[in-house]
């Protein structure tokens, strides 16, 4: 009999599956301190929480029977993932349960903006019958820009079509084929800002998406645009938005999230008549709260019964013999994927992973997950080595794994190829005795690079003096070169140089490099 401890007021309806399971005994407790939880957790095989309970290393150390911790929601900040992984405890969440709730809130915000409903309500209950001030706009025939076409963004796009809106979508992993299925026209962030009447964001908050819409985007934005953010605070530059509203560029905004929550009392959003705010209500529906509990209950049952499961947010157990062979390559695979993912433009349609040499003698699936995670993590929130394959599949990215016992130059070689509609890029690496992780090939060019720190990947024409020009320009701008690798196939043909630098290269310096006539492309790659 499995024992499951349910905390934080998770509803009985949401965990009915557990109650009905003949091999599960459910106990509910709320408001336990860490000491109280530590005192009893050894009796349980599974623990279900929301955000209130902190599942610390100390709690898990005491949970000698604990196999799984389930979070009835998306975020797992209250769970020590590293400790869970080290102890072989699976941590699962429910990323799909709040999709419809957040999508519908987005439309509530959009309608409120279009018809100034909260402002009109406030004035009406204050005793003023003012019809002239609140002349709104219709959604029909308007352009909706959706930045982030994952689960929620895709649902928003489908509903917008029913309102007669033209939908423009941006997502680094959205292919033209999938966009066509959704009835969405692809565009860049800037292209969407120029034409959209309404813009809604549905991306995770990462280093790539922080302030995705800021001063430069507001400068080119269609006058009278309206902005909605029901995703994460920080995707839109709040102060730049206020300035754009004051300048008459943006007609209004609706925010369910803030960069700092709760916002300070003097936050400019709170007293601006053109901005609608709510206190992070995206998942706050009866159905969403039940759905996330149901999803987690299903996964807990699968894990307890040793059945296949999904939505794990940490590393599953791998047989010891396989782990011993592959573990030295996990870091290399992650870096190969992360670096290669930064070299391409457009949506990835296929990831081809090739293993050569002794690596073909074991199940390389765990290593493949690390590589796919590296490719995806710059753009997607919550990617891990368990859900990376699932996320790739949900975005219709084809994963191809090839194996060959013959390795021409190296004992073991890991090669990764990314394919988009317009380009194909390759990067290969290995472990060298005494040197560790090395990148040994980029496209058709042999190199020898340690995958660490700040890298500049420069494609250029092989002519005398190019290296000097690049070095001089970087030196003039106080960017110190630590190492340099040059690769070419034919004298005077196309070539690459890879530089490691002591700090990130400023964007204006990269722009200056791109102006050199011999250089065809400059990419900064960071780990």
* Enzyme catalytic residues: 232, 261, 280
- Separation between Cα atoms, residue 441 and residue 381, nearest integer Å: 29
Residue pair 76/95 in contact by the 8 Å Cβ criterion? no
- Separation between Cα atoms, residue 135 and residue 127, nearest integer Å: 19
**Nearest Cα residue to 94 out of 260, 253, 309:** 309
- Separation between Cα atoms, residue 96 and residue 295, nearest integer Å: 8
> Residue 372: phi, psi to the nearest 5?
-65, -40
**Nearest Cα residue to 232 out of 201, 262, 263:** 201
Kindly list the strands in the beta sheet with 143-147, ordered across the sheet, starting from the edge strand earlier in the chain: 185-186, 166-170, 143-147, 198-201, 225-229, 250-255, 275-277
Cα-Cα end-to-end distance for the chain = 46
Query: Residue 352, SS3?
Result: strand
CA angle 508/446/500 to nearest 5° reads 35
Structure tokens given for 143: 């352009």
Residue pair 167/197 in contact by the 8 Å Cβ criterion? no
Report whether the peptide linkage leading into residue 262 is cis, meaning its omega lies within 30 degrees of zero.
yes
Task: Estimate to the nearest angstrom the gap between the alpha carbon of 167 and the chain centroid.
Answer: 22
Helix axes 286-304, 99-115, angle to 10 degrees: 160
**Nearest Cα residue to 453 out of 504, 416, 507:** 504
DSSP secondary structure letter of residue 79: B
- Separation between Cα atoms, residue 387 and residue 382, nearest integer Å: 9
**Nearest Cα residue to 58 out of 80, 89, 31:** 80
Which helix (DSSP H) or strand (DSSP E) does residue 46 occupy?
strand 46-49
Structure tokens given for 441: 């090939």
């Amino acid at each position: 009999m499995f024992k499951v401890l349910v905390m934080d007021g998770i509803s009985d309806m949401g965990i009915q599956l557990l109650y009905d399971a003949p091999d599960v005994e459910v106990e509910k407790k709320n408001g336990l301190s860490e000491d109280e939880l530590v005192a009893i957790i050894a009796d349980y095989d599974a623990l279900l929480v929301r955000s209130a309970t902190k599942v610390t290393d100390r709690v898990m150390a005491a949970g000698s029977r604990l196999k799984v911790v389930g979070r009835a929601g998306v975020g797992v900040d209250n769970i020590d993932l590293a400790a869970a992984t080290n102890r072989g405890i699976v941590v699962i969440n429910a990323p799909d349960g709040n999709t419809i709730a957040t999508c519908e809130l987005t439309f509530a915000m959009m309608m409120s903006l279009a018809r100034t409903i909260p402002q009109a309500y406030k004035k009406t209950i204050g005793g003023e019958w003012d019809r002239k001030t609140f002349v709104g706009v219709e959604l029909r025939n308007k352009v909706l820009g959706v930045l982030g076409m994952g689960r929620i963004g895709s649902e928003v796009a489908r509903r917008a079509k029913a309102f007669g809106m033209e939908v423009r979508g941006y997502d680094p992993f959205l292919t033209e084929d999938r966009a066509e299925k959704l009835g969405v026209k692809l565009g860049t962030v800037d292209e969407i800002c120029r034409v959209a009447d309404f813009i809604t964001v549905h991306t995770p908050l990462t280093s790539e998406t922080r302030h995705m819409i800021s001063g430069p985007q507001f400068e080119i934005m269609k006058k009278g645009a309206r902005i909605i953010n029901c995703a994460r605070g920080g995707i839109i530059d709040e102060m730049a938005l206020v300035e754009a509203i004051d300048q008459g560029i943006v007609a209004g905004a609706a925010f369910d999230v803030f960069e700092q929550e709760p916002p300070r009392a003097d936050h400019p959003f709170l007293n601006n008549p053109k901005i609608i705010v709510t206190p992070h209500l995206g998942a706050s529906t009866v159905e969403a709260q039940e759905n996330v509990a149901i999803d987690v209950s299903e996964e807990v049952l699968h894990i307890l019964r040793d059945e296949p499961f999904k939505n794990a947010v940490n590393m599953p157990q791998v047989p010891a013999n396989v782990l011993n062979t592959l573990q030295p390559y996990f870091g290399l695979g992650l870096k190969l994927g992360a670096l290669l993912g930064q070299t391409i433009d457009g949506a990835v349609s296929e990831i081809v992973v090739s293993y050569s040499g002794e690596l073909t003698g074991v199940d390389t699936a765990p290593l493949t997950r690390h590589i796919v995670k590296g490719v995806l993590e710059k753009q997607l929130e919550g990617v891990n080595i368990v859900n990376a394959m699932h996320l790739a599949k949900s975005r219709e990215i084809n994963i191809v794994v090839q194996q060959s016992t013959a390795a021409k130059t190296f004992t073991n070689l890991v090669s990764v190829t990314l394919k988009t509609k317009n380009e194909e890029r390759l990067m290969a690496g290995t472990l060298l005795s005494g040197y560790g992780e090395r990148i040994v090939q980029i496209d058709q060019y042999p190199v020898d690079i340690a995958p660490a720190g700040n890298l500049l990947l420069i494609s250029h024409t092989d002519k005398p003096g190019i290296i000097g020009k690049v070095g001089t320009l970087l030196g003039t701008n106080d960017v110190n070169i630590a190492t340099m690798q040059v690769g070419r196939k034919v004298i005077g043909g196309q070539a690459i140089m890879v530089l490691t630098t002591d700090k990130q290269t400023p964007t204006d310096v990269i722009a200056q490099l791109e102006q050199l006539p011999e250089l065809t492309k400059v990419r900064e790659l960071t780990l």
